[in-house]
Amino acid sequence: MTTTSLYQKYRPQTWNDVSGQNHIKITLQNEIDHNKITHAYVFTGPRGVGKTTTARLLAKAINCQNRQPKGEPCNTCAACTAITAGSALDVIEIDAASHTGVDNVRENIIENARVAPTALPNKVFIIDEVHMLSASAFNALLKTLEEPPKNTFFILATTEIHKVPETIISRCQRFDFKQVSVSDLVKLLEKTAASEKVQVENDVLEHIAKHADGCIRDAQSLLGQILSLGETRITMEVAELIIPRSNISTLMALFEALQQKNAAAGVAVIHELVETGVNISEFTKEFIAFLRGVMLLKVEGTGQYAFFDIRPEQQQKIIQLAQEKSPGDIAQLMEMFVKRLQMIKQTDLQELPLELAVMEICFGTAMTAAPVESGRKDGVVNQIRGGVADGVKVVTSATPSKKQPSMQEHWPKIVRAIKKHNHALHLTLKVAQLVSYEAGVLTLGFRYKFYKDRINEAKHRETVEQVVLEVSGEKVKIECEIHEKFEGIGIGAGAEGGKNIDNLVPVTEGEVSNVWDLAVNTFGGEIVAEK
């Protein structure tokens, strides 16, 4: 037994049924009323917002035998019923994605256009995803668009207007469809639910509308999935079986943890999401939308363009949390999570990119050099001026010695090289702390146990050891430790073959360069070579 989807079942059959595209609907109705219909149109916009539906309505309106005021088709005449059923021979729908070549265009469009309409007053070609046509196919279509046969109309639909040649667009009347607002989607879903004789709570309708991201087809598809559960009353608990919810209180909890640089609280929010089965990718999208709302709230003060039906106390809490942040700060935070959303799609451990974002915001990135503080700079200068740092032996030589790169200097290259083998492993190593390198054992420190456990997995440890060998030429054994603070522990200098990590503080290539610049500025002279 086959069933019809809600989107097909409730496809608009009159202009009055079209949702969210008033600027297009009114223009087309006026053109039909005044018999000023253009021979070619191009409809562009996101998927699922009504481009093909509008094209079919336009075809129906210009062929209707008993057209009503405001360009409304009667939906009862032979022409209307045939077009609605998809059996009208003079309304030809072509999927350009599967008919990309010039031969298809010549056979299905150009040759067909030369034949007069057989049953209807006008012949209409609806070409969906027109941007998929080849360059030669567009060239073949161009002449027909310039001089169309009598009583022949073309409606081109595309989601990627930039791929359509300007020569084609210039010969058409262009309409830009927009995403449907949440309020318009809620009204449409209310009407659909009433037609299905099912009571749906308003919170559920709002949740579906937000989840659909402005797409009518997605909204009605989600509602159809929920209604398929067979309940006569749909509550949020029922809807969550299909669409797991991450409510605004959870979003606020993560935002508060980030604002207070409370890594433990931030990670706890993420782990709770995982344990309750929330889709991490969808949650990240919602958090990005939440941050956008915070940014707009900071800019225009009400959040009316971002938050839908937010309670006053929640809005006040958000304002309080974001008080010390500028819109630019929030925008940078959004940009970080947009990048993390892409990473989520590339790793099996979906919570890892979010955990790393929390670490980076709360502690900074281990691979990023921190600004040299004045006290530290003075200490370096005094040590340089004093000649020797405490506890360091000076060996004089008649010729300059060639300094071999240390493991500390190799480390940034090692982390970058890991990315080619395992993207998630690369993200984990970015928050690692070099603790020590002694007797062939390279010890890494992590603040949290789950990072340590991940590196200690045999396949991951072997990958790291292999990349270290490739980059540094040294065969090492990887060990991991837990450190509450991102500073290393002392290393016995007397161990035979031991190699001390400089001051046990991660030093990037840029920071090494800063130290040499400081020495040059203090004593004068120039750097002859660095090896």
pTM exceeds 0.85 for this model:
no
Architecture of domain 248-363: Up-down Bundle (1.20)
pLDDT at res. 30? 93
Q: Which class is domain 182-239?
A: mainly alpha
Q: What does the longest C-alpha to C-alpha distance in the chain come to?
A: 105
Q: How far is CA 301 from CA 249, 296, 318, 327, 397, in A?
A: 20, 7, 11, 12, 68
pLDDT reported for residue 152: 92
Say what the pLDDT of residue 525 is.
Answer: 53
CA dist 475 and 141 (Å) reads 65
**For the chain, how many helices (H) and strands (E)?**
24, 11
Asked if residue 251 lies in contact with residue 287, where contact means CB atoms within 8 angstroms, the answer is: yes
CA angle 342, 460, 344 (to 5 degrees): 10
Do 6-176 and 248-363 have matching folds?
no
CA 220 to each of CA 128, 190, 223, 420, 466: distance values in angstroms, whole numbers, following the listed order? 21, 11, 5, 42, 52
| Every domain of the chain and the residues it spans | 6-176, 182-239, 248-363, 405-523
pLDDT value at position 456? 87
pLDDT beneath 70, residues of the chain: 1-3, 244-247, 301-314, 365-405, 484-531
CATH superfamily of 6-176: P-loop containing nucleotide triphosphate hydrolases (3.40.50.300)
**Buried (b) or exposed (e) across 369-403, using 16+ Cβ within 10 A?**
beeeeeeeeeebeeeeeeeeeeeeeeeeeeeeeee
* pLDDT of res. 365: 57
Measured between alpha carbons, how far apart are the two ends of the chain, in Å? 75
Tens of pLDDT, residue by residue over 132-190, are 999 999 998 998 898 888 899 999 999 999 999 999 999 999 999 999 988 899 999 99
Residues in the chain: 531
Q: DSSP character for 181?
A: P
Q: How far apart are CA 350 and CA 112, in angstroms?
A: 52
CATH 3.30.300.180: does it fit domain 405-523?
Answer: yes
By C-alpha distance, which of 42, 27, 21, 37 is closest to 173? 42
Question: Please, which residues bridge with residue 174 across strands?
Answer: 42
Which residues are CB-neighbours of 471 under 8 A, at least 6 positions away? 410, 413, 414, 417
Determine contact, residues 137/105, Cβ cutoff 8 Å: yes
